[in-house]
């Protein structure tokens, strides 16, 4: 997953984190994200680090669990097809 983060330009981390938060919070399946991962997201949010590489990595993991289709579409819309492809391969 660390190699995935390296391919995301720093200028996109903020926008990507906002979109991933919306995916995670907007899921209809409230059990899609395991409790431990949800706690990690909350911890990172409290540290104001959601737009950091660690925050985006954690959000990507949660967003794929919450709604993989929307996550991959969002990545593609931001021109991050390489990230999308890497995540799909690692599933």
Report how far residue 1's alpha carbon sits from residue 90's, in angstroms, rounded to the nearest whole number: 9
- Comparing CA positions, the residue from 70, 47, 41, 55 lying closest to residue 10 is 55
Report how far residue 55's alpha carbon sits from residue 29's, in angstroms, rounded to the nearest whole number: 22
pTM over 0.85, yes/no:
yes
Render each residue's pLDDT in the chain as its tens digit; 91 residues. Answer: 667 788 899 999 999 999 999 999 999 998 999 999 999 999 999 999 999 999 999 999 999 999 999 999 999 999 998 888 887 766 6
User: What is the domain partition of the chain in residue ranges?
Assistant: 2-90
Report how far residue 38's alpha carbon sits from residue 76's, in angstroms, rounded to the nearest whole number: 25
What the block records as the tokens of 69 is: 């289709």
């Amino acid at each position: 997953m660390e190699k995935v983060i390296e391919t995301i330009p720093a200028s996109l981390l903020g926008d990507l984190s906002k979109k991933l938060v919306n995916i995670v919070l907007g899921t209809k399946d409230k059990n899609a994200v395991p409790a431990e991962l949800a706690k990690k997201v909350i911890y990172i949010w409290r540290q104001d680090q959601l737009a950091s590489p660690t925050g985006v990595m954690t959000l990507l993991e949660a967003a794929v669990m919450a709604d993989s289709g929307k996550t991959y579409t969002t990545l593609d819309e931001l021109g991050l097809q390489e990230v999308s492809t890497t995540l799909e391969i690692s599933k």
